[in-house]
Structure 1
Amino acid sequence: MGRVSFTTDNYYAAMKKLLPKGPAWELEDSTFFMKMLYLAALEFARLDADISKMIDESDPQSASVTLLDWFHQWGIPEECRAEDDDLEVLRTELLIKIRTLGLTFQELVYLIGQSCGYSETKIDAKRVFTVASTADDALYSEIWSNWFYTINVEKVNSIPFKTTSRVSERLQKWGNELFECLVKHYAPAHTSTIFTYGK
């Protein structure tokens, strides 16, 4: 249930009822005393509105005046995002960052993958190379998983060179720069990440 705000008239009526009973008070709205009382009611209503606004500003879903402060405190936009994103896109990014606080790296990778359009994103388990391994197995040691993550995405991302491409661009580009940048941003600081697509 939301907070109920009082209007100027609400405060004015409440203060009139709080006056002591008796003939000393002229309760007509046109009297000087009642006009002063109404001015006090105006101030109370203004403070009431400010309090309601402060409550709204404490929630990033409804904040407007303090929204830029929220962005600054939470490091929005991320280094991977465009600087010219509109406020609602940045607000969504902020809410995602707050809601994912405390998730494991594996859960974060999955959520980032979903936001980039991948239905299946996972961290591959490392298999230690042994005498029973085949010749095409990777040479992973037992400590490999302490320093490296292999992020596997089910979909191949390749962008070919087009007639509209610039001369300085590569003939073929693989991967997803935004996805990889976000995953690296949230990866444990001592680790490196390897990305594979389409396996």
Structure 2
Amino acid sequence: MGMTAEDYAAQLAALLPTGPAWQPSPDTLLGRIVLAIGTELARVHARADTLRIEADPRSTTELLAEWELTAGLPDRCVNVAQSIEQRRAALLARLTGTGGASRSYFIGVAAAYGYTVTIEEPALHTWRMRSTEVVGITRFRAGLSTAGDPLASFGNEAFECLFNRIKPAHTALLFAYGI
């Protein structure tokens, strides 16, 4: 919605003194200078328009890394290798999170990260979080895995890390996937 280089050049030409020497026609040196200044002003205007978009964490792309730094991301639970959408979702969840200890709060946090969960309480201070998302199995591979690695593991480490970080200290979390 910014002005064009020609718009700025016309405004600059209107500010010049009157007289035949000050007529900035396109074929004169003065006309080319006025257009060059107008081009730069239009470029700066376009970048200022972009800054309005980047100032909103819901639509940022160029300033996503700075927003994440402000919010303390990435952390041990949120990985930089995620897609832009996943990184934005994590950023928004971190910036808008209010905290809580209720089931509805945890279900809302899961939804903000793109998961659908239900929560059961099989025992006192124990919650089972059931996610409909199916997760892959990581198997031990000769040459890639090292001694001490499990022969097979499954789960979503980022998801589990997030909820273990925000859960009440006295609560044990159990995770069930694809159910």
1:111 CA displacement: 1.9
Structure 1 match to 2:173? 195
Cα distance in 1 for partners of 2:154, 2:9 equals 68
Among 137, 156, 161, the residue aligned to 1:181: 161
Where in structure 1 are there 5+ consecutive unaligned residues?
A: 125-136, 139-148
- Describe the shift of the 1:20–1:69 C-alpha distance in structure 2 as closer, same or farther (beyond 3 A): same
Identity of aligned residues (%): 25
| 1:71-110 to 2 correspondences below 5 Å | 71-98=68-95, 100-106=96-102, 107-110=104-107
Q: Is the 8 A contact 1:184 1:193 kept in 2?
A: no
Q: Is the 8 A contact 1:152 1:195 kept in 2?
A: yes
Q: Is the 8 A contact 2:2 2:46 kept in 1?
A: yes
1:9 CA displacement: 0.9
Q: Does 1:151 align with 2:131?
A: no
Structure 1 match to 2:115? 116
Counterpart AA for 1:117: T
- Describe the shift of the 1:102–1:34 C-alpha distance in structure 2 as closer, same or farther (beyond 3 A): same
**What TM-score results when the alignment is normalised by the length of structure 1?**
0.61
Q: Is the 8 A contact 2:57 2:64 kept in 1?
A: yes
Larger radius of gyration: 1
Name the count of aligned residue pairs. Answer: 163
Among 18, 32, 35, the residue aligned to 1:38: 35
Q: Is the 8 A contact 1:9 1:41 kept in 2?
A: yes
- What's the RMSD between the two structures over aligned residues? 3.8
Counterpart AA for 1:121: I
Counterpart AA for 2:40: E
Cα distance in 2 for partners of 1:16, 1:153 equals 68
Q: Is the 8 A contact 1:156 1:175 kept in 2?
A: no
Cα distance in 2 for partners of 1:155, 1:32 equals 69
Counterpart AA for 2:74: P
Q: Is the 8 A contact 1:15 1:37 kept in 2?
A: yes
Cα distance in 2 for partners of 1:56, 1:197 equals 38
